[in-house]
């Protein structure tokens, strides 16, 4: 009897750790298949972004006839959370856990928020639009529940992306980081492109039931993909758990000022902000520009997005190769921003008699520059971060990047809507003039990014050996 | 097998670790519970059942 019990228990104890989502040992070599699996969290981020910015934007205005200004306000809500990425990253850096985990709990929480937001979103939207009996319900219920849904999804996306990137950085040695950054960007792009196609096809024939199905399927898929990505990635570590208990508490403000005290960090963030803003406005404006100004058909303007994405992919690829071979990320980022300038110039010239071929070449070039710039600046942020502040550094990157990209997209949307209001343009103002002004502003911002990046290489390379300065930093923190 | 009184068998985790795993379960249940409640309320507002 007792023998049976012992045998059963021993069997269970060998089985059970296989069913816990933590790795038992931290392996030095992380195989590509595991990194690919980890990068699935970027697919869910891409899905959420497309659903919020693209699909629901249209569905709410066209099918649910919610006022456009209200839709814009709702969709801007997640942007408010972007600066909180720094806090999330910091908390994951200094998390105290008996299991020695730092990133896993936050990715799990972020996944919960993403799921929760998507789970209530379709019903919140239906109540907001006054579907069925909801027409008699008080207005604040629809408003507050829709706002809550968007806030939850936004908070979840910020958490998952920030902490997920930090986990990926933890897992791989310094030399492989450019490859991982490239992989993460490619998966984000892939998630966005594929889910945009799928959402478009699924919501072709809109019905309230279909909306519920699509959004809730997204919720389930998000949890499934994030759990697959997270499974057995971070090692259970009793030594680190002990260390977590003994490390003195650092306040958020102190950690921030210690990060900003590193030479070049602030300037790098400025460059990232300027460049992201410059590239960010293009996405939304290229299609209406091609249609209204150059007279391209709807089908061929859709191919523009594919062309832009192809250029971006080529940029990621080149950046991965060059940085993996020991290239300097700051120089490469500056080249990326600089490539965007002739790209936008070609797009402007296309309306001044340059023709469609010039426009397509400009689009491809802009995508290429954006890919190069995005990859190189994220790699620079990671390399510049002290090993114990990776979460915070990636939080700062994400806060600047998401805020500037969001403002860029919102501004571009405003410009586009104002133009759509003009119809064929007011007297004395040609249709392409406002577009070209925006593209001119983008060139200006990219130029500023290039200039701001000039002294950056000197500042960052002053920390000649990154591993050495990390070690110094660690000793300072511990003592 | 049971020489370490701090270990929770059969998982091999110690007490603090087991409690942490448990806390994730509890938190998850609470969040899912609140979400389900909210979703039901919203559905009941737009398409009421039971009356």
Does A191 fall in a domain? yes
- Res. B25: pLDDT tops 70: yes
Q: What is the DSSP string of A78-117?
A: HHHTGGGHHHHHHHHHT---TT--SSHHHHHHHHHHHHHH
Q: Do A115 and B24 touch (CB under 8 A)?
A: no
Euclidean distance between CA atoms A235 and A255, whole angstroms: 25
Structure tokens, A440: 């001119």
Closest Cα in chain B, distance from residue A38 (Å)? 21
3-state secondary structure of B49: coil
Euclidean distance between CA atoms A422 and A419, whole angstroms: 5
Average pLDDT, chain A: 84
Same domain, A255 and A282: yes
Same domain, A268 and A207: no
Does A108 fall in a domain? yes
Q: Do A17 and B46 touch (CB under 8 A)?
A: no
Q: Please state whether A163 falls in left (phi above 0), alpha (psi between -120 and 50) or beta.
A: alpha
pLDDT in tens, A361-377: 999 999 999 999 999 99
Give the CA distances from residue A411 to residues A108, A147, A283, A332, A456, in Å, rounded to whole numbers and listed in that order.
33, 21, 12, 28, 28
Same domain, A130 and A223: yes
Q: Closest CB to B39: pick one of A17, A105, A119.
A: A119
Q: Do A126 and B46 touch (CB under 8 A)?
A: yes
User: Looking at the DSSP assignment, which residues form a beta bridge with residue B14?
Assistant: B7
Closest Cα in chain B, distance from residue A55 (Å)? 21
Chain A residue at shortest CA distance from B30:
A112
Euclidean distance between CA atoms A119 and A139, whole angstroms: 21
Q: Closest CB to B46: pick one of A10, A108, A127.
A: A127
Residues of A in contact with B28 (CB under 8 A): 108, 112
Same domain, A69 and A187: yes
DSSP code for A235:
B
Place of tokens 């806090």: A87
- Domain at A355, CATH number: 1.20.1250.20
Does A89 fall in a domain? yes
Q: Closest CB to A116: pick one of B1, B21, B35.
A: B35
Does A14 fall in a domain? no
Euclidean distance between CA atoms A169 and A162, whole angstroms: 11
Residues of B in contact with A150 (CB under 8 A): none
pLDDT in tens, A316-326: 999 988 988 88
Same domain, A156 and A267: no
Q: Closest CB to B12: pick one of A13, A120, A241.
A: A13
pLDDT in tens, chain A (479 residues): 567 777 776 766 666 556 666 665 555 677 788 888 999 999 999 999 989 887 888 888 888 888 888 888 888 888 888 889 999 999 998 888 888 888 999 999 999 999 999 999 999 999 998 888 888 888 899 999 999 999 999 999 999 999 999 999 888 888 888 888 888 999 999 999 899 889 988 888 888 889 999 999 999 999 999 999 998 888 888 888 888 888 888 889 999 888 888 888 889 999 999 999 999 877 778 877 888 788 887 777 777 888 888 999 999 999 988 988 888 899 999 999 999 999 999 999 988 877 888 999 999 999 999 999 999 999 999 988 888 889 999 999 999 999 998 888 888 777 767 766 665 545 556 777 778 888 888 899 999 999 988 887 777 765 544 443 443 333 333 33
Please count the structural domains in chain A: 2
Does A342 fall in a domain? yes
Residue B5 sits at the chain A interface (C-beta within 8 Å): no
Does A21 fall in a domain? no
Residues of A in contact with B37 (CB under 8 A): none
Euclidean distance between CA atoms A114 and A108, whole angstroms: 10
Q: What is the DSSP string of A277-326?
A: HHHHTHHHHHHHHHHHTT---HHHHHHHHHHHHHHHHHHHHHHHHHHHTT
Length of chain B in terms of residues written: 51
Same domain, A230 and A365: no
Q: Do B32 and A126 touch (CB under 8 A)?
A: no
Contact A179, A323 (CB under 8 A): no
Q: Closest CB to A17: pick one of B12, B32, B38.
A: B12
Chain B residues 24-43 with a CB less than 8 Å from chain A: 24, 27-28, 31-32, 34-36, 38-39, 42-43
Q: What is the DSSP string of A392-443?
A: HHHHHHHHHHHHHHHHHHHHHHHHHHHHHHHTT--TT--THHHHHHHHHHHH
Same domain, A204 and A308: no
Contact A368, A311 (CB under 8 A): yes
Euclidean distance between CA atoms A44 and A154, whole angstroms: 12
Euclidean distance between CA atoms A230 and A86, whole angstroms: 21
Euclidean distance between CA atoms A79 and A150, whole angstroms: 10
Torsion of CA A293, A374, A187, A99, to 10 degrees: -150
Q: Which of A381, A368, A305 is nearest to A338 (CA)?
A: A368
Domains of chain B, residue spans: 7-46
Euclidean distance between CA atoms B3 and A64, whole angstroms: 65
Strands B7-8 and B13-14, sheet pairing: antiparallel
pLDDT in tens, A290-306: 887 888 877 777 778 88
Closest Cα in chain A, distance from residue B7 (Å)? 12
Domain extent, residue A365, equals 250-479
**pLDDT at res. A341:** 94
Q: What is the DSSP string of B3-17?
A: --TTEETTTTEEHHH
Contact A321, A416 (CB under 8 A): no
């Amino acid at each position: 009897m007792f023998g049976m019990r012992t045998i059963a228990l021993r069997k269970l104890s060998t089985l059970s750790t296989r069913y816990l989502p933590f790795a038992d040992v931290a392996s030095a070599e992380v195989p590509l298949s595991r990194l690919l699996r980890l990068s699935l969290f970027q697919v869910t981020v891409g899905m959420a972004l497309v659903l919020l910015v693209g699909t629901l934007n249209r569905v709410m205005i066209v099918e649910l006839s919610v006022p456009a200004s209200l839709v814009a306000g709702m969709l801007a809500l997640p942007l408010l959370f972007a600066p909180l990425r720094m806090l999330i990253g910091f908390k994951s850096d200094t998390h105290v856990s008996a299991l020695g985990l730092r990133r896993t709990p936050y990715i799990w929480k972020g996944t919960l928020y993403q799921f929760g937001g998507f789970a209530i979103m379709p019903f919140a939207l239906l109540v907001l639009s006054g579907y069925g009996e909801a027409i008699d319900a008080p207005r604040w219920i629809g408003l507050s529940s829709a706002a809550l849904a968007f806030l939850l999804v936004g908070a979840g996306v910020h958490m998952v992306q920030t902490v997920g990137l930090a986990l990926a950085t933890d897992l791989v040695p310094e030399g492989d980081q450019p490859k991982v950054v490239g992989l993460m960007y490619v998966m984000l792009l892939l998630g966005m492109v594929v889910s945009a196609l799928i959402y478009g096809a699924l919501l072709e024939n809109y019905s309230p039931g279909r909306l519920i199905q699509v959004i809730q399927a997204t919720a389930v898929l998000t949890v499934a993909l994030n759990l697959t990505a997270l499974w057995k990635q971070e090692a259970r570590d009793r030594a680190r758990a002990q260390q977590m208990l003994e490390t003195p508490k650092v306040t958020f403000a102190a950690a921030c000022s210690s990060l900003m005290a590193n030479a070049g960090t602030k300037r790098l963030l400025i460059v990232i902000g300027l460049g992201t803003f410059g590239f960010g406005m293009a996405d939304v404006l290229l299609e209406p520009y091609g249609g209204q100004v150059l007279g391209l058909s709807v089908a061929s303007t859709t191919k523009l997005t594919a062309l832009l994405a192809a250029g971006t992919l080529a940029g990621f690829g080149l950046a991965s190769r060059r940085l993996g071979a020991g290239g300097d990320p700051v120089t490469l980022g500056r080249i990326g921003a600089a490539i965007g300038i002739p790209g936008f110039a070609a797009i402007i010239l296309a309306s001044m008699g340059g023709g469609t071929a010039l426009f397509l070449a400009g689009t491809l070039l802009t995508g290429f520059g954006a890919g190069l710039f995005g990859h190189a600046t994220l790699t620079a942020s990671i390399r510049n971060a002290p090993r114990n502040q990776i979460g915070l550094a990636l939080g700062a990157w994400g806060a600047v990047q998401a805020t500037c990209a969001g403002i860029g997209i919102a501004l571009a949307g405003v410009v586009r809507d104002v133009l759509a209001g003009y119809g064929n343009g007011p007297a004395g103002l040609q249709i392409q003039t406002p577009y070209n002004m925006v593209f001119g502003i983008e060139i200006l911002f990219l130029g500023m990014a290039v200039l701001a990046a000039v002294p950056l290489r000197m500042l960052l390379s002053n920390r000649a050996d990154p591993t050495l300065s990390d070690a110094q930093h660690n000793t300072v923190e511990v003592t | 097998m049971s020489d370490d009184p701090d270990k929770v068998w059969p998982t091999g985790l110690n007490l603090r670790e087991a409690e942490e795993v448990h806390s994730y379960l509890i938190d998850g249940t609470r969040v899912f519970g609140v979400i389900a409640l909210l979703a039901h309320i919203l559905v009941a507002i737009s398409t009421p059942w039971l009356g």
